[in-house]
Amino acid sequence: MISIPPIDGQAIQRRLMELSRHSVLKDRLWRPSYTPQEAEVRRQLSGWFAQAGLQPRTDAVGNLYGHAGGAGAKTVLVGSHIDTVKDAGAYDGCAGVLCGMAALQALLAQYGPPRVPVELIAMLEEEGSRFSDASFWGSRALTGQTSRDMLSCRDEDGISLARAMEEAGFDPAKIDTARREDLACYLELHIEQGPILEHRGVQLGIVDSITGIGILRVEITGRANHAGTTPMDLRLDALQAGAKLVLQLPELARVFPNATATAGSFQVLPGSANVVPGQVTMLIDFRAARQEDLDALGLLLDQAAHELEGEGFAVSTHFRDFILPAPLDPGLGRLQEECARDLGYSAMHMISGAGHDCQFFARQVPSALLFIPCQEGRSHCPQEYAAPEDLSRGARMLAATLYRLAWVD
């Protein structure tokens, strides 16, 4: 049996609330990367890391580390991200960082330094909410999966990623130095961002794989005309054509297990209430747990869009982005099972429908992702919430897993 001391979930929650005050918006939480607000979170975390017995340092892109001693060439890494989407909750990302810190602090207090090096990491720009074409920037840089082209992507104010880095005190020419070649494995804790654990009354989710994500851009061109003088049967309404495509998404996604398709972004031109829409541009987010399913679903969506050409519309499509599905390490999954059993926690295996930094680590080193429940499955909104007892269980699970990986032979 593993002896893991109690961990105060309310203390973790209080610190989450402290971090949530650092936002570029006055009454809503949004913490994009390379802003003074993000720098303030790094500063605060750096002090907390030091208090927990972790030596802080920042790498070339802004990832913050907390190092615990130990000999050996390979490092056990645990953590998550600190950036948020607009109108965010306080738990997405930061809960994983603070639960990791609490776990390491408890282990250091009870067992002393680890046998092998262990580090806590707080990464940036996971969400891509400032630079949509550079999501997972921190984990990409750490695993050598960036490209120089990403430095030219721009935020909504036209500021490039390279310029934002420079304004925050980082040198874009040095991003390659952030790459790590010394990792033994990576662990991440996250709120589920879905309702399954709460609905089933299960305390922990052991993630077997992270879904792949594709983005299909569809532009539909019809014919703009007067809304009052153009008969309904003589219109070429681009928005109605787009709506027809949207209504097909559930049927197309159901072809594949655990797949989803969502149209959440529309631009309608000319955008006037008294003009028949002449052009619609939409983004379709589609996801599947297996690469072959992701590819096939993308093909079906593309075909469905071009079928509108038979009704007189001009249609152009472009696959803007793909993030590959990521199976996680079965051995670490079994270790999580054992730790949950030893601690007396219920756990279930599941697939993550959301993307996480973990999927970039999984391509290179054994990686594991642990879910804790969130209230009503809500996330990416101010109502996001995880109970103190769930934070405590998650931190203790991380501690038990880290103990087996880094403190005992």
SS3 string, the chain, reads CCCCCCCCHHHHHHHHHHHHCCCCCCCCCCCCCCCHHHHHHHHHHHHHHHHCCCEEEECCCCCEEEEECCCCCCEEEEEEECCCCCCCCCCCCHHHHHHHHHHHHHHHHHHCCCCCCEEEEEECCCCCCCCHHHCCHHHHHHCCCCCHHHHHCECCCCCEHHHHHHHCCCCHHHHHHHCCCCEEEEEEEEECCCCHHHHHCCCEEEEEEECEEEEEEEEEECECEECCCCCHHHCECHHHHHHHHHHHHHHHHCCCCCCEEEEEEEEEECCCCCEECCEEEEEEEEEECCHHHHHHHHHHHHHHHHHHHHHCCEEEEEEEEEECCEECCHHHHHHHHHHHHHHCCCEEEEEECCCCCHHHHCCCCCEEEEEECCHHHCCCCCCCCCCHHHHHHHHHHHHHHHHHHHHCC
Report domain 9-211+325-407's class. alpha beta
Angle (CA) 191-360-127 rounded to 5° is 50
pLDDT per residue over 122-135, tens digit each? 999 999 889 988 99
Q: Which of 88, 123, 131 is nearest to 358 (CA)?
A: 123
pLDDT per residue over 2-37, tens digit each? 789 899 999 999 999 999 999 999 899 999 999 999
Q: What is the CATH number of domain 212-323?
A: 3.30.70.360
Fold match between domain 9-211+325-407 and domain 212-323: no
- The residue whose two tokens read 């721009």 is 154
C-alpha 32/C-alpha 126 separation (Å) is 10
| Six token digits for residue 265 | 């972004």
| Six token digits for residue 127 | 């969400």
Instruction: Give the start-to-end residue ranges of the domains of the chain.
Output: 9-211+325-407, 212-323
Residue 61 near residue 138 (C-beta atoms within 8 A): yes
188-206 core/surface letters (b: 16 or more CB in 10 A; e: else): bbbbbbbebbbeeebbbbb
Length of the chain equals: 409
What sign does the CA torsion over 62, 63, 67, 73 have?
negative
Q: Looking at residue 72, what is its pLDDT? A: 81
CB atoms within 10 A of CB 319: 14
Q: Looking at residue 124, what is its pLDDT? A: 95
| Six token digits for residue 187 | 């662990």
Q: Which of 108, 57, 99, 54 is nearest to 79 (CA)?
A: 99
Q: Is 300 exposed, middle or buried (0-12, 13-18, 19+ CB in 10 A)?
A: middle
Q: Which of 354, 341, 361 is nearest to 380 (CA)?
A: 354
| Six token digits for residue 131 | 């630079």
Q: Looking at residue 1, what is its pLDDT? A: 64
Q: Looking at residue 147, what is its pLDDT? A: 87
CB atoms within 10 A of CB 270: 11
Q: Flag residues of the chain having pLDDT under 50.
A: none
